[in-house]
Structure 1
Amino acid sequence: MAQSGQVAEKITELTGRRVELVEITTYGDVSKEQLAQIGGTGVFVSALRDALLAGEVDLAVHSLKDLPTAQPEELVVAAMPPRVDPRDALVARDGLTFAQLPDGARVGTGSPRRMAQLASWARALGRETEIVPIRGNVDTRIGYVRSGELDAVVLAAAGLTRVGRIDEATELLDPHEILPAPGQGALAVECVAASAQLAVQLGKLDDPLTRLAVTAERTLLARLEAGCSAPVGALADFWVNEQDVTEMRLRGVVGTTDGSTQVQLSTTGSVPASADEATAQSILLGRDLADAMLAKGAAGLMGERAH
């Protein structure tokens, strides 16, 4: 609701159109099961898309990391607004960082990707850390720490930022340690493809660099044939030369949830000035990195694979 409200304000500012928020509860919102058990892919999205196709709403705002990589022909992602911080955030007791947590600390997350990388990081630190599966909104998750049930929880920094609670993070986790989910920190504004005029208006919210980065990350995810509940992390970023974006770096990781085995690789490529060529290069980077990861055995580390 917070991120939808922010998009609505921006639409009104740029187009003059008044936007009414329609609250839709998804299966992912109400299910108490872990994401890996309910499939992950599309559980936060399907109800919103059904409402779009039924004409009940004109547009939907998704967290891009929840969006399946296969795009329905009837719908179009008209805009990807500027991405906010893609990193994961730690909220720990006593202001601790992850490296400062004691041996045997209990850390909560509902994400297999975070479980895999946190367990691997703890192993590298020579420490036993219990990764506890949790679900719930920001209040619920941080409440586990405030009550003393858990020593820390890990959430998306973007989510904390959008609800005005980023100051409660005790550490923003370096992507060198924990790569975020593909598309994390970015939003997708989706409408019916036949609503061409609306799509053009929504396109005013689009940020080309966000779209390029997310395209590379989601291409990697699709090439791995992994859903958004798989233990896959990816992040694309850019090098800037005298205000011109000249190069993209794409990093990817796949690991077992116990942290025992991990495949982590990166690649770089130029960013052409032409938008079409830049998009093609983003897709190529995602495919090439995924192929390299598969050659290193990534497929066997993902467990459940969603096609």
Structure 2
Amino acid sequence: MSAIRVGTRGSALALAQTQTIANRIAASAGVEVEIVPIETHGDVSTESLASLGGTGVFASALREALVRGDCDVVVHSLKDLPTDPFPGLVIGATPKRADARDALCARAGFTLDSLPEGARVGTGSPRRMAQLRKARPDLTVVDLRGNIDTRLGRVAEGDLDAVVLAAAGLGRLGRLDDASTELLSLSDWPTAPGQGALALEVRDEKLDHLLHTALAAINHGSTEGTTTAERLVLAHLEAGCAAPIGATAVIDDGLLFLTATVYSPDGLRSVTSSHAATPDSHSALHLVEAARDVAGRVATDLLAGGAADFAPLKVSK
């Protein structure tokens, strides 16, 4: 293989995180790496994420380019990747996860608790909208699209009092310290399944040896296990990436812990479940097996608690 072509969305954030991955692939494989920007429907549409359907609006064009052979591997933000398998493709590696938390970016140094009554807070995420309405029913939640700079610009211009963004994205663009006024605790504010992690997707075929070696070096077993647990909750609930669901998995003292919460869109109702599993070892294979076990139990609890009655899930009610 004379060069490895890495497909990505063309946003500043996507290019920044892909450049980091490209550098690691180049260092491991010892060959030239070419970054191939690909325009997606989610990048060009101005419709809300919920109206676009959420699931796959950023991933479909990347996957189609990979299937066509326009690139050899694509880099996804894992939280944007549908849980349903795509014919002919597999996740080849999950790099070590960055900060999974959400960050409040507010004017005048406000925190979520100190924002004035009626403050206008922007987000394009139905999950964040529900959490904001649950935590602060007095706030005005504004549906928001655009890249990180565009969203932060709405606060700087005074149109919004705050926005909620992923800490990982801010960090990858070097904006976390100057833009965020509060990092929201995962215990109180669980984030999207897979948030903070990337996924490297490849064609489901025998890989070139150099690419296979590079992906094996990049994969992070603990991240693979925890994000698999979170995403399997979505799969069991037949919920898309934009569903109002937060999930957090961690490995602590030899146990894989998973907590997930389903919210009603208005934030008035929610149900939470937590379970733990004991992997046979910390190998990626055994962590994924434990993830399947714990995610199934959590999803069963959420449905028993009535999640399908108030959240936009596809499961039979």
TM over 0.5: yes
- 2:79 is aligned with 1:65: yes
Given candidates 79, 82, 104, the residue that maps to 1:90 is 104
- In the other structure, the counterpart of 1:292 is 301
Query: Separation in 2 of the partners of 1:141 and 1:306?
Result: 34
Match of 2:270 in 1: 262
Q: Distance in 2 between matches of 1:164 and 1:101?
A: 25
| Contact 2:224–2:284 (Cα < 8 Å) also in 1 | no
- One-letter identity of the residue aligned with 2:256: M
What residue ranges of structure 2 are gaps of 5+ in the alignment? 1-14
- Which residue is equivalent to 2:7? none
- Aligned pairs for 1:39-118 (under 5 A) are 39-118=53-132
1:206 maps to a residue whose letter is: N
SS in structure 2 at match of 1:253: strand
Task: Using the TM superposition, give the Cα deviation of residue 88 of structure 1 relative to its aligned residue in structure 2, in angstroms.
Answer: 0.5
After superposition, the C-alpha distances for 1:176-212 in whole angstroms (9 at most, x for unaligned) are 2211100000000111111423334322100000000
Name the counterpart of 1:234: 247
Give the structure 2 partner of residue 243 of structure 1.
Answer: none
Does the aligned pair in 1 maintain the 2:277–2:293 contact within 8 Å? no
Question: Does the CA contact (< 8 Å) of 2:225 and 2:284 recur in 1?
Answer: no
CA offsets 1:29-82 (integer angstroms, 9 cap, x no match): 111111111111111001011111111111100000010101224111111000
Task: Map 1:209-228 onto structure 2 (within 5 A).
Answer: 209-228=222-241
Equivalent residue of 1:98, what SS?
A: coil
Following the alignment from structure 1 to structure 2, what is the Cα–Cα distance between the partners of residues 157 and 142?
Answer: 13
Contact in 2 for aligned 1:85/1:185 (Cα 8 Å): yes
**Is 1:279 aligned to 2:288, yes or no?**
yes
**Do the aligned residues in 2 keep the contact of 1:193 with 1:199 (CA within 8 Å)?**
no
Give CA deviations for 1:207-251 in whole Å, capped at 9, x if unaligned.
0000000110011110011000110110101213xxxxx011111
**Aligned AA for 1:291?**
T
Q: Structure 2: how far apart are the matches of 1:304 and 1:212?
A: 24
Q: Indicate the SS of the match to 1:153.
A: strand
Instruction: State the alpha-carbon separation in 1 of the partners of residues 130 and 162 from structure 2.
Output: 16
Identity across matched positions, percent: 48
Checking the alignment, whether the CA contact within 8 Å between 1:76 and 1:192 is kept in structure 2 is yes
* Bigger mean CA offset, 149-158 vs 262-271: 262-271
Offset, 1:306: 9.0
Q: Could you tell me how far apart the structure 2 residues matched to 1:183 and 1:104 are?
A: 31
Identify unmatched segments of 5+ residues in structure 1: 241-245
Matched, 1:303 2:312: yes
Question: For 1:60, what is the secondary structure of its paired residue?
Answer: strand
Equivalent residue pairs, number:
298
Q: CA RMSD in A?
A: 1.5
C-alpha contact (below 8 Å) 1:256/1:262 kept by paired residues: yes
Q: Which amino acid aligns with 2:183?
A: L
- Answer yes or no: is 1:17 the counterpart of 2:49: no
Query: How far is the alpha carbon of 1:16 from its aligned partner?
Result: 1.3
Equivalent position SS for 1:265:
strand
Instruction: Return the alpha-carbon distance in structure 1 between the equivalents of residues 66 and 164 of structure 2.
Output: 32
Instruction: State the shift of 1:19 in Å.
Output: 0.9
Whole-angstrom CA distance in 2 between matches of 1:26 and 1:275: 31
Alignment of 1:48-197 (within 5 A): 48-123=62-137, 128-167=138-177, 168-197=179-208
Please, which moves more after superposition, 276-285 or 31-40?
276-285
Per the normalisation by structure 1, the TM-score is 0.94
Map Cα deviations across residues 131-151 of structure 1 (whole Å, 9 max, x no partner): 111000001100111011111
Per the TM alignment, residue 102 of structure 1 is displaced from its structure 2 partner at its CA by: 0.8
